[in-house]
């Protein structure tokens, strides 16, 4: 159930800088979700954007969705060391019975 691609695979930036991660998918969707996973831990739901939305904000997070290009981006502004984690996008296609399609993930490292 993995069909998405994320880039970059890994990203290392200085604390305070902005981090941008991209996700592409292949089918139509009801919504797209972003999750964070700290090393060896469970998933934390960050934000959900519906197919009829183009941009959404939550704190330091900004998500965009371009359904014509089947792509999404996650921007984390003013990054902190605690943002170091892997970030995954997941899409919810129609008629999927809630099965999510996962991207490969981006490993983000914030250097102090």
Partner 1 sequence: GAVVSQHPSWVICKSGTSVKIECRSLDFQATTMFWYRQFPKQSLMLMATSNEGSKATYEQGVEKDKFLINHASLTLSTLTVTSAHPEDSSFYICSAIPANGLENNEQFFGPGTRLTVL
Cα–Cα dist 106/88, whole Å: 7
User: What's the longest Cα–Cα distance across the chain?
Assistant: 44
Provide the minimum distance between the beta carbon of 16 and partner 1 in the complex, in angstroms, as a whole number: 26
Asked if residue 93 binds partner 1 (CB under 8 A), the reply is: no
CB closer to partner 1 out of 19 and 46: 46
Residue 62: both structure tokens together: 């900004």
Q: Helix or strand or coil: residue 82?
A: helix
- Considering only residues 28 to 67 of the shown chain, the ones binding partner 1 according to CB under 8 A are 30-31, 33, 35, 40-43, 45, 48
The H-or-E segment that residue 69 falls in is none
CB closer to partner 1 out of 16 and 50: 50
Q: Rounded to 5 degrees, what are φ and ψ at 30?
A: -85, -40
Question: Is 63:34 a contact under the CB 8 Å cutoff?
Answer: yes
Which one among 34, 36, 84, 102 touches partner 1, defined by CB under 8 A?
A: 102
Residues that bind partner 1 (CB under 8 A): 1-2, 30-31, 33, 35, 40-43, 45, 48, 88, 92, 97-100, 102-105, 107
């Amino acid at each position: 159930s993995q069909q998405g691609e994320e880039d970059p695979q890994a990203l290392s930036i200085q604390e305070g800088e902005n981090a941008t991660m991209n996700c592409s998918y292949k089918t139509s969707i009801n919504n797209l979700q972003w999750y964070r996973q700290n090393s060896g831990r469970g998933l934390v739901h960050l934000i959900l954007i519906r197919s009829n939305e183009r941009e959404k904000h939550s704190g330091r997070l900004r998500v965009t969705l371009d359904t014509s290009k089947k792509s999404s981006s996650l921007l984390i502004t003013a990054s902190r060391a605690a943002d170091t984690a892997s970030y995954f996008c997941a899409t919810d296609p129609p008629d999927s019975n809630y099965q999510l399609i996962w991207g490969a993930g981006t490993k983000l490292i914030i250097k102090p």
